[in-house]
Amino acid sequence: MLISGAGRTLANLLQVIRQGRLDLEIVLVISSKPGVAGLDIAEAAGIPTRVIRPRDFASVAEYSTAHYAVIEQYGADLVLMAGFLRQLDIPQAWTDRVLNIHPSLLPQAAAYAAGKGMYGIRVHQAVLAHGDTVSGATVHVVTAEYDSGPPLMTVEVPVLPGDDAAILADRVFAAECDLYPTALRHYMQLHPELLRE
């Protein structure tokens, strides 16, 4: 799992796994930043962690290569992004095996609420500024361009009169907590080769 911050999605997935509602093992958490709360969540759960900082690499290609080298050491079959704020190349061996959750509806909101620099509260501010009456979240396959891969599953949430970005963010995150596990179960059904005995 790749993170850059608080690790709320990581905590949610760990809870769903513990409850037996998702047959998945998180074998490694990589953060693009040191000292973030998500690393503490992983360590408390006994999950190995690594920090791979983009500033330590000369290019996206080198940064990406460093990630896959570590990921493959841990025998991971799938890479899950959750609040990971960096771009990664997707080599052929990992095509369709890197997933992300984005806090807006894609591709509908791609022009104003997705792409480089559009994360967290900024996404919800953009949705409100656009005048949308519906927002939501999308689990999508990651490609080389930010937030442009094919959607796997979406969930809609209403934008209500009086919403500000923080209120909308909370409503969308609550929906994400069900969406990501559901999308992962669906993905595993489509890719039974990833299931282990």
| Domain of 16, in residue numbers | 1-95
Q: Phi and psi for 136 in degrees, rounded to 5?
A: 155, -155
- In the chain, the percentage of residues whose pLDDT exceeds 90 is 90
Q: Look over the chain and give the mean of its residue pLDDT values, rounded to a whole number.
A: 95
pLDDT for residue 47: 98
Last residue of a domain, one of 60, 95, 130: 95
102 among known catalytic residues: yes
pTM, 2 dp: 0.94
Burial class, 84, CB count within 10 angstroms (exposed 0-12 / middle 13-18 / buried 19+): buried
Q: Which of 67, 102, 124, 140 is catalytic?
A: 102
CATH number at residue 79: 3.40.50.170
Among 104, 96, 176, smallest CA distance to 142 is for 96
pLDDT one-digit tens code per residue, 15-28? 999 999 999 999 99
Is pLDDT of 140 > 90?
Answer: yes
